[in-house]
Structures are given as structure tokens and as C-alpha cells.
């Protein structure tokens, strides 16, 4: 059959509130025009994030009932440890309550002020953790990553030459580790090839710098390798993931993505000396090393979820959804990051609203228009999230202005996506009427979560 169907049926439903345009205008105003400050109930299709928002399977719910809530050495920990060890091949496994907790422990243990941490593209929490620890977070995406229109297969790759230049300039002593993020979330959910990870590892080995993987979407990345990289068509997604982790010295993970769980994460490594440090700081921050901020039932849900994420039919369905939306929007002429990413569609706002200056936050104009048109909640990945102030206090824009529509796993159905396409079409047709925003309040770190806006020209 040509039609790719959801490889599951629905046992429990959750009502969606259908709001009127007037209600949405009122809600957005009360939220200071920042969709992070809306009540979730007022969002009809919530695409703010694919993180922790997925639907669990009956297998996961059943496993949760087996949760062993013992403080130390629980059965649930053993199951979690076995699943993580099977996929990553790492000896030292520290559960954490989510990905950023793993990042914080990693940075707290091995980053000194002035250290430099390269990545293909740091996620905002990773960058914030590194900077909070006095380090410098540098991005080295491949050159295709900046061209949103080129349909290259692995636009999440790292620029290996630029990485080598960085190592030569800073010296290996200043680089405690290098990260590579799979898939590259902030660069459009684009995958990283096995060849690229191998090349990065070979370079780092020369300088004796450990390689860590930010593995949040490792299963989606494995699917892309299976589909696009020569030699992987007859390998299972588990085998592909195992090969990728075999090239790394450690990893941070948010199980809220490809763990198919609503909470959880982990930090893994091979070096026993690092592991000792991680465990000691982990006890302070997250709890005893066999539960790490998680209930036994959460460990169970993750142990099952990690394997379900590696199910080929599940990934086929997930990617069919994203590709369907991109295909329909492309036909309407809506500019997007091409090709389709793994977990989200990224609208290319620079092309949508070329006349709105970056410092008037065109991404917010699109995000808010999507909400007002149909109650769709998206997120800006542009100057609000990634801009910074230079030494003269002048706001420097982000190289890309994107709006991300991230898809919770196994949550929305085909008709929800048809509705979404209609909402985007309406915004696209009315783009000339959109204007920029002024930021009226911002916090020092991760300002996008809590800042306030006022529409310009109102
Ligand atoms: N690394 C990447 C690549 C991420 O996408 C995220 C989270 C994290 C680390 C942190 O994990 O949320 O469990 O602490 N990304 C979510 C998002 C929030 O919406 O993309 P966390």
C-alpha cells in the first residue's frame, strides 16, 4: 500500500479545547505576546516542543506498573541500565531527571573557566550550561547548514576543518571535550552522517580530545543514516545507533525525545575517573546514582521507550508525517529548511518576512500569527533565542531566523496536520500584514522563556 499509517491505534484520548479568535487574542495579550507564557489549554495544536510531550505505548504504561521505587539498586534501575548499555555500549551510566541535568553535571565536572567546547550546534541549554561554567561554546556546522534551500542529505554534519582550526588556535588543553549533536536540532533537525562522526572522532583522537554525543534524537538520526548513507540499508536502527556510540567517549541524553518518555535523561562515559566525578556531583544534584532524579516507574518507561524509538516502522511513520507537511507547504510556496528535518518543520522566516529587521524579531511575528490564526503554538529559533549582545551592548542577530513546529511523538493524527497546513497557509497568505515586535522585558539567561513583547505599529 502507498499510504503510510500510524503504526498504532488509540486507547486513551485527551480533549483539545477549540478556541475562538477573540479568545486567542486575549490569551496572547495576557501572555505578553510570548507563547511560552500561554496556558497550554489555550493551544489547540501544541508544537512548542517534541520534548516530553509524546504519547507512551501500552507497553510503557504496563512497565510503569512494575516500577520498583527502592532508593538504591532497584529492579527498574537494572532494566534502565541494561537498555542504555545495550544501545550506547558505555560502561558508566548515570540517570538524570532530564538532558540539561546531564549537561550541568558534565560541565560542572570537567569544564574550567576559559575552556572551549566545540559542537556542530549547541542547543540553548547546552550553551547556557557551558557559559555558566565559564566556558565558551562554539558552533562548527558544515557550510550547507547555512543554506536553507540546498537539499543535502546530512546538513547536521560538523565542519571538520573548522574544528581542527579551533583546536590549533586554542590548544588541546583548553578543550576538555567536543560535542556533536544528533540530529542537529537548532540547525533544522538535520542528521549527522556516520562518516562525519567517524571523521570528527579521527581528528579528536589525534589531539586526545574526548568526543561526546548529544544524543537526544539518536534514533531519528539512525533512521536517516539507514535511508541516506551508503552501506546502512541492511542494518537495523539499533545496530546503527550502536556503531555511532562506539565512536564516542560519552554522551548526554534527554529521554524526553528518543526515550519516548515524559521525563528523564542520562550521562554516560567510558572513563572511570570521569564517572567517579559525575557520580559525586550527581548525588548532590540529582540523587543516588541508581535513580538520578527519576522515579523507578520513569526508569521503566525509558527502558521500553528507548527501544521503541528504534523500531523501524515507527520511524517510517514519523518521517512520513514530517515529509507530508513539507511537501504540502512546498507546493504552497512556503519557505522552509529543506530537506525535512527529523522532528520538526522549520519555517525560513528570513524568506517569509524579508522586510522585518532581525532585532524586531520576525520569528515572533510568525509564531504569534500562527497562534492567532488557529491556536497553533510554535517556537522561534532566531534572534530571540540565539541573538547576543556585543561588547558595545548592541544586539547581534542569529545567522538563521527559523520558526520550529516540533512534533510530539505519536500524539497528533493526519487531520491535525491537515489543519496545521491550513493555518500556515493562512499566515503565509497574510504575511504582508505582519509587523515586528519590541522586547519590553528580558532575563539574563535563556531570555526566550520569559521575555515580554509588544507589537510594533500597534
Ligand atoms: N540537547 C538538545 C539537542 C536538545 O534538543 C535539548 C532539549 C536538550 C539538549 C536538553 O534536554 O530538555 O531534557 O533538558 N530540547 C528541547 C527542545 C527542550 O524543545 O528542543 P532537556
Grid cell, residue 41, equals 489549554
Phi, psi of 181 (to 5 degrees): -100, 120
Considering only CA atoms, which residue is closest to atom 8 of ligand 1?
A: 99
Ligand 1 atom nearest 264 alpha carbon = 13
Total residues belonging to the chain: 458
Considering only CA atoms, which residue is closest to atom 2 of ligand 1?
A: 123
**Measured at the alpha carbon of residue 431, what is the angle toward residues 427 and 435, in degrees to the nearest 5?**
115
Ligand 1 atom nearest 102 alpha carbon = 14
**Measured at the alpha carbon of residue 105, what is the angle toward residues 103 and 111, in degrees to the nearest 5?**
85
pLDDT at position 458 is 58
Grid cell, residue 150, equals 540546498
How remote is the CA of residue 395 from the centroid of ligand 1, in Å?
Answer: 25
Global pTM reads 0.95
Judge residue 333's burial from the number of C-beta atoms within 10 Å of its C-beta, 0-12 exposed, 13-18 middle, 19 or more buried: exposed
Alpha carbon distance 387, 400 (integer Å):
10
- With a CB cutoff of 8 Å and minimum separation 6, the contacts of 421 are 325, 328, 329, 332
Q: What is the CB < 6 Å shell around ligand 1?
A: 49, 51, 98-100, 123, 125-126, 181, 185, 214, 216, 254, 256, 265, 406
Considering only CA atoms, which residue is closest to atom 11 of ligand 1?
A: 99
Considering only CA atoms, which residue is closest to atom 1 of ligand 1?
A: 123
Residue 204 contacts residue 223 (beta carbons within 8 Å): no
Alpha carbon distance 398, 391 (integer Å):
16
Residue 212 contacts residue 177 (beta carbons within 8 Å): yes
Mutate to test the pocket of ligand 1, among 51, 189, 409 (most ligand atoms within 8 A of CB): 51
How remote is the CA of residue 322 from the centroid of ligand 1, in Å?
Answer: 19
Tens-level pLDDT at each residue, the chain (458 residues) = 989 999 999 999 999 999 999 999 999 999 999 999 999 999 999 999 999 999 999 999 999 999 999 999 999 999 999 999 999 999 999 999 999 999 999 999 999 999 999 999 999 899 999 999 999 999 999 999 988 888 899 999 999 999 999 999 999 999 999 999 999 988 789 999 999 999 999 999 999 999 999 999 999 999 999 999 999 999 999 999 999 999 999 999 999 999 999 999 999 999 999 999 999 999 999 999 999 999 999 999 999 999 999 999 999 999 999 999 999 999 999 999 999 899 999 999 999 999 999 999 999 999 999 999 999 999 999 999 988 888 998 999 998 899 999 999 999 999 999 999 999 999 999 999 999 999 999 998 789 999 999 999 75
Residue 403 contacts residue 45 (beta carbons within 8 Å): no
- With a CB cutoff of 8 Å and minimum separation 6, the contacts of 365 are 349, 353, 356, 434, 435, 436, 437
pLDDT at position 188 is 84
Write the pLDDT tens digit of every residue in 173-213.
999 999 999 999 887 899 999 999 999 999 999 999 999 99
| CA 127 to the chain's CA centroid | 13
Considering only CA atoms, which residue is closest to atom 18 of ligand 1?
A: 51
Amino acid at each position: 500500500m502507498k499510504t503510510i499509517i500510524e503504526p498504532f491505534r488509540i486507547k486513551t484520548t485527551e480533549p483539545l479545547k477549540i478556541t475562538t479568535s477573540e479568545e486567542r487574542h486575549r490569551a496572547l495579550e495576557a501572555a505578553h505576546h510570548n507563547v511560552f507564557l500561554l496556558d497550554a489549554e489555550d493551544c489547540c495544536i501544541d508544537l512548542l516542543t517534541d520534548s516530553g510531550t509524546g504519547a507512551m505505548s501500552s507497553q510503557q504504561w504496563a512497565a510503569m506498573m512494575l516500577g520498583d521505587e527502592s532508593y538504591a539498586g532497584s529492579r527498574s534501575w537494572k532494566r534502565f541500565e541494561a537498555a542504555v548499555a545495550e544501545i550506547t555500549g558505555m560502561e558508566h551510566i548515570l540517570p538524570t531527571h532530564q538532558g540539561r541535568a546531564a549537561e550541568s553535571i558534565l560541565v560542572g565536572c570537567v569544564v574550567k573557566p576559559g575552556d572551549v567546547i566545540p559542537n556542530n550546534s549547541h542547543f540553548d541549554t547546552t550553551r547556557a550550561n557551558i557559559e555558566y561554567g565559564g566556558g565558551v561554546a562554539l558552533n562548527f556546522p558544515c557550510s550547507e547548514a547555512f543554506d536553507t534551500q540546498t537539499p543535502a542529505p546530512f546538513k547536521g554534519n560538523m565542519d571538520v576543518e573548522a574544528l581542527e582550526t579551533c583546536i590549533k588556535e586554542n590548544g588541546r588543553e583548553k578543550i576538555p571535550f567536543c560535542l556533536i549533536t544528533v540530529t542537529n536540532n537548532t540547525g533544522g533537525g538535520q542528521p549527522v552522517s556516520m562518516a562525519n562522526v567517524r571523521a570528527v572522532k579521527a581528528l579528536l583522537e589525534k589531539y586526545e580530545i574526548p568526543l561526546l554525543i548529544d544524543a537526544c534524537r539518536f534514533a531519528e538520526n539512525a533512521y536517516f543514516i539507514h535511508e541516506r548513507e551508503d552501506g546502512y540499508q541492511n542494518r537495523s536502527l539499533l545496530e546503527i545507533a550502536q556503531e555511532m556510540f562506539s565512536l564516542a567517549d560519552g554522551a548526554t541524553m534527554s529521554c524526553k525525545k528518543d526515550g519516548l518518555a515524559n521525563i528523564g535523561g542520562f550521562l554516560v562515559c567510558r572513563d572511570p575517573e570521569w564517572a567517579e566525578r559525575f557520580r559525586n556531583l550527581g548525588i548532590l544534584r540529582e540523587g543516588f546514582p541508581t535513580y538520578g532524579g527519576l522515579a523507578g516507574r520513569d526508569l521503566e518507561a525509558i527502558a521500553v521507550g528507548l527501544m521503541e524509538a528504534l523500531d523501524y516502522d515507527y520511524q517510517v511513520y514519523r518521517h512520513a508525517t514530517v515529509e507530508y507537511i513539507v511537501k504540502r507547504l512546498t507546493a504552497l510556496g512556503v519557505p522552509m529548511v529543506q530537506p525535512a528535518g527529523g522532528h520538526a518543520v522549520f519555517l525560513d522566516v528570513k524568506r517569509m518576512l524579508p522586510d522585518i529587521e532581525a532585532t524586531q524579531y520576525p520569528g515572533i511575528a510568525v509564531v504569534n500569527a500562527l497562534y492567532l490564526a488557529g491556536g497553533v503554538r510554535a517556537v522561534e529559533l532566531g534572534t530571540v533565542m540565539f541573538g547576543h549582545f556585543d561588547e558595545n551592548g548592541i544586539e547581534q542577530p542569529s545567522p538563521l531566523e527559523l520558526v520550529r513546529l516540533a512534533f510530539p511523538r505519536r500524539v497528533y493524527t493526519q487531520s491535525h496536520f491537515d489543519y496545521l497546513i491550513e493555518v500556515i497557509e493562512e499566515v503565509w497568505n497574510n504575511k504582508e500584514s505582519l509587523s515586528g515586535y519590541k522586547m519590553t522585558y528580558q532575563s539574563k539567561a535563556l531570555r526566550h522563556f520569559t521575555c515580554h513583547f509588544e507589537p510594533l505599529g500597534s
